[in-house]
Amino acid sequence: MIPEFLPRKTAKPVVPPIKCQGIKTRLVSFILENIQWDGRGRWVEPFMGSGVVLFSVQPQRAIINDINPHIINFYRRLADGSLTSAMVREHLTAEGNELVKQGEDHYYEVRNRFNQAADPLDFLFLNRACFNGVMRFNRKGGFNVPFCRKPDRFRSAYITKIVNQVTAVCKVMKGKEWEFRNEDWKDYLRNLNQEDFVYLDPPYIGRHTDYFNQWTEEDATALATVAENLPCGFALSMWKQNEYRANHHLQNWRDTEERTVRHFYHVGSTESLRHEMEEALLIRRGYAAPLQITPPSTSAEQLGMFI
């Protein structure tokens, strides 16, 4: 009998170098402990985002997709070795020095350069130097997040931290059969088999996003329909409710088992804008791990989500 690949506990998630809103760094343990999958098929992610769940699951085989071509290009080049940790250190050091000299003018120079040439190293620089770690693009596909107003951001320790994250991701990918795609999610979720498992982390319905394109009510409803007809297991990450409103879209997900956890969504510019959120993990029946009793000492702040 093949041992289960999931559920399992993870002491520390593999933190990726690319950040984006909704990153699941502090929710990885919750996700991995609640999904049951034997690992014989492929781990399938139509909405890669930061990739923190993927890099922490570490499946041997995976097909990974995102509508944002810059994310896919960055990780595809890390996987094939055409982008290295040494290149990252050299680039961030050089651009960081220019940022100290020129201030925000250099940030906008790099942003303009990236929007013309789409260099993955410039993408990483902008992602780590922009305001509040937000990833946002305009309708023409141009990165348009303003500067974080910290010219000395790329100090030696900070660059080393990012380089270590790149190194960790490269180590995880080594020897794996991972295929990276940049497709519409509807095209991507075809030709799957019963042994695969699909992890769904789409843009949060009801919350503003310019991540790379718009995510509409129609898209969210269509995803629920497609998931219902998949030949394999799946799990959906989605916000459930906060003190102001509830996500009524979740009622469209039938034949699933719900697991929830509370956390703080740390995206607001001030502490008063950072509210507690209840996060839902909807798992296809038959693929949810047996319920575990969580010690009451784990606070909502400890489960907070940071970008």
CATH of the domain at 191: 3.40.50.150
Alpha carbon distance 137, 63 (integer Å): 25
The pTM (predicted TM-score) of the whole model is: 0.89
The answer to whether 214 touches 172, Cβ cutoff 8 Å, is no
Is 15 a residue whose pLDDT tops 80? yes
Is 281 or 242 the better-scoring residue by pLDDT?
281
**Res 39: pLDDT:** 97
Give me the domain span that covers residue 145.
80-169
Q: Does residue 16 lie in a domain region?
A: no
Do 85 and 62 share a domain, yes or no?
no
Distance of CA 108 to the CA centre of its chain: 25
- The last residue of one of the domains, among 140, 169, 198, is 169
Q: Does residue 293 lie in a domain region?
A: yes
Do 250 and 291 share a domain, yes or no?
yes
Is 300 or 58 the better-scoring residue by pLDDT?
58
**Res 208: pLDDT:** 47
Kindly state the percentage of the chain with pLDDT values over 90.
73
Is 275 or 98 the better-scoring residue by pLDDT?
98
Do 161 and 196 share a domain, yes or no?
no
User: What is the total count of domains within the chain?
Assistant: 2
Do 108 and 196 share a domain, yes or no?
no
Q: Does residue 195 lie in a domain region?
A: yes
Alpha carbon distance 210, 141 (integer Å): 10
Do 278 and 215 share a domain, yes or no?
yes
Do 192 and 130 share a domain, yes or no?
no
The answer to whether 237 touches 50, Cβ cutoff 8 Å, is no
Q: Does residue 8 lie in a domain region?
A: no
Question: Averaged over 247-257, what is the pLDDT?
Answer: 93
